[in-house]
Chains A and B, each alone.
Chain A
Amino acid sequence: MPGGNDTLVPLVWQPVPGTGSAQIYPLIRKIDTISSNSYLIVTPDVLILIDPGGLIEQAEQLSRVIGECRRERDRPVFVFLTHAHIDHFIGVVGVPAFACPETAVFAVQEQGAEALERADAKLTQAEMLGKSLAPMKIGLPLFPRAWEVNCNIPVSMAFPNGATITITYDRSGTAGGLPHGRLEFGSGPALDIYHTPGHSPDSVSLRMGGLFFIGDLLFAANPGIAGMCGWDQRALVQSLDRMLTRIDCGGITTVCPGHGRVVTAPDAARMLSAVVTDARALSDIAELNRGRAEQAALFAEDCMEQVNELFTIMAGRLHYVSYVMDELGESDIADRMGALIPGDTIDELLEAFTAFAEEHHQGKHVSIHLALKAAQVITKLGRAFRKEELVHIIDPTLVDRAGRLLSDYTTMFRGFNPPCERSGCSLVPVIEAIVMGLSVSSCSDEDMLSSADDDAAFLQVLLSRIGTRPLLEDVTFSFAAEDRSLPVSIDLDHFTDLVTYILEDLVGTGSDKVTLQVRREDRHARITLFGNTIPGASETPRKRSFLAGLCTRAGGILTCPEDAGMRRFVITLELE
């Protein structure tokens, strides 16, 4: 093989290891949700195309290569789909080489074949990705319902493309327990197919010689993929376990996924083991349908506006600490502080999301793509976010909220509800503790004095003193609770975040007098926060939506009544 013994070189004909006469032409793409990899195999008897992909240009490119092969020596063409998701096949629509059974016979596991013949927009993910789909004729349904009845009996079939093939289904031990079929096209190498449901009910894996084509199994537990229509956790775990056994049985050198680079069999086994672990943890996820993709996209935009604000503030704080340290002649420390948050990288990530969201609103991207973009940005932000170090320099409330926001989005995007752990508590002391945390520096004069003999400790305290600015330190704050006995059930972290966001919003937009009132109203506790702000200040619809969602996760209901000259937020909690 040109790329070595266990890899493939894209867009080059090379031998299929272990076959003697078959050659493969791989078309390997960077990973995306638009189109899959394609693999074209030529044997003395047949041309086999595995996954023509989701792009018309890709299908046309493959059509040209197939045309060259057929001019050299005419052979029937079979198109195998590892599964019937549109990114694996929709590119063929309108390309003459794939238009009729006389030119190419499509082979798909029976449930996928039926989905394609009835143009099922859900199972094919056409609905999710905003694509239209016309019914397709599938000439060779794989693993038909009766396959177990005819187990080990070779069946010959003739096709409009001139081919006659023999198919033998079995449940052989060498297949690792996977339902297995062997397709013989003539005297050349056979194609083994394995039913590997889980990512979708119709997922199959194919093997010729040392190459194993496994579709999307490597990604089947990923956020944004797990939970899609047809996804089945139990079936996936079983398929993955059996796949691992099959790889372990030997004979496979290279694993060819539906997206991204090919991998060696040992690497694939390691990766599949990790997928099994992830898949086992996904027993309670919600179905990822269009509605949930839209919900995820909305949550993504709400979260990203807050993420943008929090990261800009945190980066600003570090710039400030860096500025003060520079003033004190400590340029080394100033540089170190400046590097704790890679501001430019973070700005670029956030701006890329904003631009993508604008394109989404113009109809250029569907909801799932926006949700995926947010997940991608959040993952990168998570890597750039050195929480453990930052929490000792700038306000922990900023750092903790940023961490929780990233985590809430990731959790929701993976198909779970963001954690909401309500417990009973007395409301007034909780609010007093939140207010205290926002009024007093986490680093006291006593801390400064006691660290004076130790350079490292003193530096830490000094940085924290500069980087921490209690939100309410230069604000006239009044707190009134008519009744101290208000037992409620709340998620403490989310409630603390909610009150902090609201107070931050009031102080940040110019309130120098802020009032927080708590009172009992029938079976409810009502918390009202208000303050005077600079003219024109109001929360954006997205901010309002974000705070309302956060309040729900905290266990309450938020309203923002109109009030001339004042900004007012009311949180209502049910009394226990």
Chain B
Amino acid sequence: MDITTTDRDSATIVSIAGRVDTATAPVLEQAINKEIEIGHRHVLLDFTRVSYISSGGLRVLLATAKKLKTPGDKFAICGLSSEVHKILKLAGFTSIFSIYSTEGEALAGW
């Protein structure tokens, strides 16, 4: 799994490529936590190149949602493949954070 982080329009965009599984979920969590710790509280996860998410990955998403819930915080995910969308939808996560088709749509929606 590769993670790249960029700042755009006052948002931190964390782009992930590969599988978010037992081995890689902690790496993703660390990368997100690092951004939150330095005060970046508008976080958008770009999942365009994520092919698979495990329950460990879902736990990281909820942990992030929990950290970014003070007024003014923003947390969203964009670019879900149909497989990952299905998992998030059926697990009930789509009611916890916003999901957008593209990065542009997400930043415009904020």
* Residues of chain A having any CB pair with chain B under 8 Å: 309, 311-313, 315-317, 319-320, 323, 326, 341, 343-344, 346-348, 350-351, 469, 471, 504-505, 507-510, 533-534, 536-538
Q: Which residues of B contact A350 (CB under 8 A)?
A: 54
Residue of A nearest to B80 (CB): A534
Choose among A316, A533, A534, A536 the residue that contacts B91 (Cβ–Cβ < 8 A). Answer: A316
Give the nearest-CB partner of A543 in chain B.
B83
- The reply to whether A326 and B66 form a contact with Cβ atoms under 8 Å apart is yes
Closest chain-B Cβ to A395's Cβ sits at a distance in Å of: 9
Cα distance, A317 to B89, chains bound together (Å):
10
Find out whether the CB atom of A316 lies under 8 angstroms from the CB atom of B58.
yes
The residue from A313, A343, A510 contacting B56, defined by CB atoms under 8 A apart: A343
Can you list 19 A-B pairs, Cβ within 8 angstroms, ordered by A?
A: A312-B58, A312-B87, A313-B90, A315-B55, A316-B91, A317-B92, A319-B59, A320-B93, A341-B55, A347-B54, A347-B55, A347-B56, A350-B54, A469-B92, A508-B86, A534-B80, A534-B101, A536-B82, A537-B82
Q: Find the B residue at minimum CB distance from A507.
A: B89
- Whether B62 contacts A319 by the Cβ 8 Å rule is yes
B74 within 8 A of A: no
Q: Does B53 contact A (CB under 8 A)?
A: yes
Query: Which residues of A lie under 8 Å from residue B101 when comparing CB positions?
Result: 534
- Chain B residues engaging chain A, CB cutoff 8 angstroms: 21-23, 53-56, 58-59, 62, 65-66, 80-82, 85-93, 96, 101
Please provide the 7 A-B residue pairs with the shortest distance between their CB atoms, ordered closest to farther: A316-B91, A508-B86, A315-B55, A537-B82, A343-B55, A509-B82, A316-B58
Contacts known (A343-B55, A343-B56); A323 close to B96, Cβ less than 8 A: yes
Chain B residues near A509 (CB-CB < 8 A) = 82, 85-86
Q: How far is the CA of A450 from the CA of B15 in the complex (A)?
A: 48
The listed residue with most A CB atoms (<10 A of its CB), out of B22, B87, B88, B93, is: B22
Q: For B58, list chain A residues within 8 Å (CB).
A: 312, 315-316, 319
Q: Which of A316, A469, A504, A537 has the most CB of B within 10 A?
A: A316
| A346 B82 Cβ-Cβ under 8 A | no
Which residue of A has the minimal Cβ distance to B89? A508
Measured CB to CB, the closest approach of chain A to B95, in angstroms, equals 8
Task: Report the bound CA distance from A351 to B93 in whole Å.
Answer: 22
- A-B contact number at CB 8 A: 88
Distance of A309 Cα from B86 Cα, bound (Å): 9
Asked if B86 and A311 sit within 8 Å, CB to CB, the answer is: no
Question: In the complex, are the beta carbons of B82 and A534 less than 8 A apart?
Answer: yes
Chain A residues closer than 8 Å to B55, beta-carbon distance:
311-312, 315-316, 319, 341, 343, 346-347
Whether A309 contacts B85 by the Cβ 8 Å rule is no
Give A509 to B83 CA distance when docked, in angstroms.
7
For A316, the chain B residues whose CB sits under 8 A away are 55, 58, 87-88, 90-93
Closest to A508 in B: B86
Q: Of A311, A312, A348, which is in contact with the most chain B CB atoms at under 10 Å from its CB?
A: A312
- CB–CB A348/B87 < 8 A: no
CA distance A343 to B59 in the complex (A): 9
Q: What B residues does A344 contact at CB under 8 A?
A: 22, 56
| Chain B residues within 8 Å of A313, by CB | 87, 90-91
Q: How far is the CA of A319 from the CA of B91 in the complex (A)?
A: 9
Kindly list chain A residues whose C-beta atoms are within 8 Å of the C-beta of B54: 312, 343, 347, 350-351
Extra A-B contacts (17), CB below 8 Å, given A313-B87, A534-B80: A311-B55, A312-B54, A312-B91, A313-B90, A315-B91, A316-B90, A319-B58, A320-B92, A323-B65, A343-B54, A347-B54, A351-B21, A471-B90, A504-B86, A508-B89, A509-B82, A536-B81
Once bound together, how far apart are the Cα atoms of A326 and B63, in whole Å?
11
Give chain B nearest CB distance to A341 CB in angstroms.
7
Q: Which residues of chain A are within 8 angstroms of B96 by Cβ–Cβ distance?
A: 320, 323
CA distance A454 to B15 in the complex (A): 48
In the bound complex, residues from chain B placing their C-beta under 8 Å from that of A312 are: 53-55, 58, 87, 91
Contact: A505 with B21, CB < 8 Å? no
Q: Which residues of A contact B82 (CB under 8 A)?
A: 508-510, 533-534, 536-538
- The interface residues of chain A lying within 8 Å CB-to-CB of B93 are 316, 320
**Residues of B contacting A504 in the complex (Cβ-Cβ under 8 angstroms):** 86, 90
Within the complex, the shortest CB–CB distance from A544 to chain B, in Å, comes to 14
* Chain A residues near B62 (CB-CB < 8 A): 319-320, 323
**Residue on B with the closest CB to A533?**
B82
Report the minimal beta-carbon distance from B92 to chain A, rounded to whole angstroms: 5
Of chain A, the residue at the smallest CB distance from B94 is: A474
A392 to B94, CA, bound (A): 22
> In the complex, which residue of chain A has the Cβ closest to the Cβ of B82?
A537
- Tell me the smallest distance from the CB of A139 to a CB of chain B, in Å: 53
When distances are taken between beta carbons in the complex, the residues of chain A under 8 Å from B66 are 323, 326
Known: A312-B55, A320-B62. A534 touches B22 (CB 8 A): no
A507 to B86, CA, bound (A): 8
Cβ of B86 to closest chain A Cβ, rounded Å:
3
Chain A residue nearest to B19 (CB atoms) is A351
Contact present for B56 and A505 (CB under 8 Å): no
Instruction: Tell me the nearest residue of chain A to B22, going by C-beta.
Output: A347
- Nearest-neighbour CB distance to chain A for B22, whole angstroms, equals 4
Cα-based distance from A505 to B90 in the complex (angstroms):
9
Chain A residues with Cβ below 8 Å from B90 are: 313, 316, 471, 504, 507-508
Which A-chain residue is minimally distant from B81 (CB atoms)? Answer: A536
Taken together as a complex, chains A and B put the C-alpha atoms of A163 and B91 apart, in Å, by: 72
CB nearest to A346 among chain B residues: B55
> Please, how many angstroms separate the alpha-carbon atoms of A508 and B91 in the complex?
10
Complex Cα gap A317–B96 (Å)? 12
- Docked complex Cα distance between A537 and B62 (Å): 25
Q: Which residues of B contact A343 (CB under 8 A)?
A: 54-56, 59
Measured CA separation A351–B56 after assembly (Å):
12
Q: Which of A319, A350, A509, A534 has the most CB of B within 10 A?
A: A319
In whole angstroms, how far apart are the Cα atoms of A537 and B89 in the complex?
14
CB distance from A503 to the nearest CB of B (A): 11
CB distance from A563 to the nearest CB of B (A): 16
Q: How far is the CB of A319 from chain B (nearest CB, A)?
A: 5
